[in-house]
């Protein structure tokens, strides 16, 4: 696989300014030139060995590995310096020379002839980068970092090697063998996609991975016959209410990730980070149902109606919600709407903001002798005002109090708690954008926090943690800007 840049720029022109576009080249029968004969040249030759390319290397003093490859017939070697004519008919060119000026001269010649060129370890002289590769039969998995961090790509390759069993190469070959028959018998892209989803999700793939290809063939024939005859009627509508967590994509659950990668439609709210949303299947329809930039959010009845509508169409619907669907997320209302419509609904829990914010700051929300419990409340009612909680009970609980959506009603929240007997000296921290790169902690006490928050003017989602456990935070070790109360 080769990461190619748009013609308007070269790979080294604007590091970090744009992403590279990955393309898989069929090099079968194509000419590839390697200029150089040392270790770097040998490494590129090894990568190219299974591609079917006609590999030729030129170097006046090639080292032993390149010589051995030539003797074994893996490449054609010419023991001389580079000549411009070497580029005639070449599809790709690798330049593996120690001398920077010599490498630049070869690159200039290649570009003048329209040959894509890569000068090894010389980023500005590369039209493409070569990724770390995991090969599973006919399946190739490639990991590229645009040349920024080859060591990271190698590390990820090792993780992928562990995560993807060698049998997946056998599964790829099995699918290739059956693809012409499926294409011929199944009309329409949608039906073919659902057919292949059924292949990979069911007994066919299980049989292939287990090494029982006879059983796999029988199951495949039966499934293909059924698909051609019935059109694979869509299953009864269903939806999943998925907790996206506090924002950091690393805190999304594995079950939530799998749901996103299988979803046909994703309804998401404003608290879902772009990084989490990007994990959804590429061709899934994404619908923003939250408030953004002052635009009114879609009301709950409209969201419920969308859930029911898409589920009735037989689509796999994910309602992606910040935090946990059942913690101030109106997940219960959406579940009731689905059930009333006679449709299936499931719930994938998420890490709620209070727990995530406390963990990010090193605050144990329960701690022996300090906090006997964690209590979650909302400071934002249906009408936007502070809800009428039992303030005396909250003040007497003796644990950690987490207040969601409390920035607009913060002054009233503080007054109610102090009026109910909670001391003005009670430690408080307001956490903005918990777990995200822009995370910020605004520290104070119940008596000072409103003024400190007004001074800091947080713009992102902000949660309040109130109680003696707040003093147990890991001072000076949290990777965010802290406005200290002192």
**Known catalytic residues?**
269, 291
The DSSP secondary structure of 19-77, one letter per residue, reads PPEEE----TT-EEEEE--SHHHHHHHHHHTTTT-EEEEE-SS--HHHHHHHHTTSSEE
CA dist 394 and 387 (Å) reads 13
Angle at 68 between CA 65 and CA 74, to 5 degrees: 105
Q: How far is CA 251 from the centre of its chain?
A: 11
Q: Please tell me the distance from the alpha carbon of residue 455 to that of residue 133, in angstroms, as a whole number.
A: 51
Could you tell me the CA-to-CA distances from 321 to 84, 218, 270, 286, 325 in Å, in that order? 59, 42, 8, 13, 6
Angle (CA) 243-246-251 rounded to 5° is 75
Q: β-strand 427-432 against 440-445: which pairing, if any?
A: antiparallel
Phi and psi angles of residue 242, each rounded to the nearest 5 degrees, phi first: -115, 125
Query: Are the CB atoms for 401 and 377 separated by under 8 Å?
Result: yes
Taking the C-alpha atoms of residue 336 and residue 343, their distance in angstroms, rounded to an integer, is 10
Residues 39 and 16: beta-carbon distance below 8 Å: no
In terms of residues, how long is the chain?
Answer: 486
Distance, C-alpha 406 to centroid of its chain: 30
Q: Which two tokens stand for residue 317?
A: 């619907």
Phi and psi, residue 417, nearest 5°: -70, -45
């Amino acid at each position: 696989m080769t990461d190619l840049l748009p013609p308007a720029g070269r790979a080294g022109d604007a590091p970090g300014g744009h992403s590279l576009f990955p393309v898989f080249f069929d090099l079968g029968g194509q000419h590839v030139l390697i200029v150089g004969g040392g270790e770097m040249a040998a490494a590129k030759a090894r990568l190219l060995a299974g591609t079917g390319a006609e590999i030729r290397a030129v170097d006046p003093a090639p080292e032993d590995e390149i010589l051995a490859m030539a003797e074994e017939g893996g490449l054609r070697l010419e023991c001389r310096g580079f000549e411009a004519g070497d580029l005639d008919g070449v599809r790709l060119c690798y330049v593996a020379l120690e001398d920077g000026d010599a490498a630049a001269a070869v690159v200039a010649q290649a570009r003048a002839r329209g040959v894509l060129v890569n000068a090894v370890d010389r980023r500005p002289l590369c039209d493409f980068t070569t990724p770390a590769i995991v090969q599973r039969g006919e399946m190739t998995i490639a990991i590229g970092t645009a040349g920024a961090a080859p060591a990271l790509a190698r590390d990820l390759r090792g993780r992928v090697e562990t995560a993807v069993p060698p049998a997946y190469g056998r599964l790829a070959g099995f699918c290739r063998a059956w693809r012409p028959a499926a294409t011929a018998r199944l009309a329409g892209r949608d039906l073919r996609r659902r057919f292949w989803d059924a292949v990979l999700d069911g007994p066919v793939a299980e049989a292939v991975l287990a090494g029982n290809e006879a059983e796999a063939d029988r199951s495949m024939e039966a499934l293909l016959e059924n698909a051609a005859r019935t059109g694979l009627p869509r299953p009864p509508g269903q939806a999943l209410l998925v907790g996206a967590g506090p924002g950091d994509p690393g805190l999304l659950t594995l079950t939530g990730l799998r749901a996103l990668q299988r979803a046909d439609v994703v309804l998401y709210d404003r608290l879902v980070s772009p990084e989490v949303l990007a994990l959804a299947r590429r061709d899934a329809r994404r619908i923003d149902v939250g408030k953004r930039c002052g635009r009114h959010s879609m009301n709950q009845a409209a969201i419920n109606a969308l859930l029911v509508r898409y589920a009735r169409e037989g689509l796999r619907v994910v309602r992606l919600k910040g935090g946990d669907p059942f913690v101030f997320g109106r997940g219960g209302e959406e579940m009731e709407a689905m059930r009333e419509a006679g449709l299936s609904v499931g719930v994938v829990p998420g890490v709620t903001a209070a727990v995530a914010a406390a963990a990010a700051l090193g605050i144990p929300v329960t701690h022996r002798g300090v906090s006997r419990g964690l209590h979650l409340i909302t400071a934002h009612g249906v009408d936007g005002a502070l809800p009428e909680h039992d303030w005396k009970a909250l003040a007497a609980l003796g644990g950690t109090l987490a207040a969601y959506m409390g920035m607009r009603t913060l002054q009233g929240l503080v007054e109610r708690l102090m009026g109910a007997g909670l001391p003005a000296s009670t430690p408080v921290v307001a956490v903005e954008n918990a777990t995200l790169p822009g995370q910020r902690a605004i520290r104070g006490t119940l008596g000072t926090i409103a003024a400190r928050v007004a001074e800091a003017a947080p713009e992102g989602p902000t949660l309040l943690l109130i109680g003696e456990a707040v003093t147990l935070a890991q001072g000076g070790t949290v990777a965010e800007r802290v406005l200290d109360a002192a």
